[in-house]
Structure 1
């Protein structure tokens, strides 16, 4: 599968009551979200390993539950893709070919630097999840509901990150 290829519906079935075209469109949206969440869980673990400085331990320990929850989200999406007759492809090469964003560029760095970058990552993931929800409203209520529940958790994770970057007056540190 190349970057421009869209995931195909390969099974001769889909969820009862859903037509093949709606299934294909839903699978494509879910595939995009699956790739983003796999990337997010790896990025979170990378930050977990490379964050240093004041508040290190609090951030280090905050990230592992996020990794686990995002991993579960990824599994839920992959299983939904299979339920609709698609094939979830999560191999490293296939993932990098299908992603449309730049790799996380920070190595070992201070808490604030990582959290400012992670806030931007969450901006993109959450915005794209919201767009996926809007598209799914016309295609598949089950997948729409699934992404809606995930977005609630992802937005809460971003709030946790922002709490480390927010001043007492409510200003968000962005650089």
Structure 2
């Protein structure tokens, strides 16, 4: 691993947290792409509001992904966010590419947000148990944003 900037955590803990952060990074990037897929293709009542909301949601997802990637590097690892890595490691269901119905997009996104949120919350517990309160705190912020965006999206149903 390259240089790290957190002296209080041992190598094993740092390595485990880098792996945890990269797993959540893959899910966040895949979810961002799903949000953009919906943004580009949805049609129906309430289109403009949901279309604009999804741009804002994608921005927030990218911010959370950036925080997770940077934390992995701070811990002495590498951020692994390439297309190839995300395609291999993301655990969210493949997003439908031939869907236009706004209600179907809302439902598909809501399900994926709930899944990614649950995975991030598992990460919070794992980080706290490992003694990495900073990673746990970072993931808590990501979790709050995911839950809020799930609500924003789901409230359009």
Shorter-chain TM-score: which interval? over 0.9
The DSSP-based 3-state class of the residue aligned with 2:129 is coil
Which residue is 2:26 aligned to? Answer: 35
Aligned length: 156
1:140-173 deviation digits (Å, cap 9, x = unpaired): 10000001011111101011112112xxxxxxxx
Larger RCO, structure (CA 8 Å, separation 6 or more): 2
Tell me the TM-score normalised to structure 1 length: 0.85
Q: Find the aligned partners of 2:80 and 2:87 in 1 and give their Cα distance.
A: 11
Which is worse superposed, 75-84 or 94-103? 94-103
Moved runs in structure 1, 4+ residues, more than 3 A? none
The DSSP-based 3-state class of the residue aligned with 1:138 is helix
Larger radius of gyration: 1
1:90-119 deviation digits (Å, cap 9, x = unpaired): 111121122233311242311101001111
In angstroms, what is the RMSD of aligned CA positions? 1.2
Instruction: Output aligned runs, 1:143-162, within 5 Å.
Output: 143-162=135-154
Q: Find the aligned partners of 2:4 and 2:43 in 1 and give their Cα distance.
A: 50
Shift of residue 134 of structure 1? Answer: 0.8
Larger proportion of helix: 2
Instruction: Output aligned runs, 1:24-173, within 5 Å.
Output: 24-139=15-130, 140-165=132-157
List alignment gaps of at least 5 residues for structure 1.
1-9, 166-175
Q: Find the aligned partners of 2:147 and 2:91 in 1 and give their Cα distance.
A: 21
Q: Find the aligned partners of 1:34 and 1:134 in 2 and give their Cα distance.
A: 17
Q: Find the aligned partners of 1:64 and 1:34 in 2 and give their Cα distance.
A: 19
Tell me the TM-score normalised to structure 2 length: 0.94
The DSSP-based 3-state class of the residue aligned with 1:52 is coil
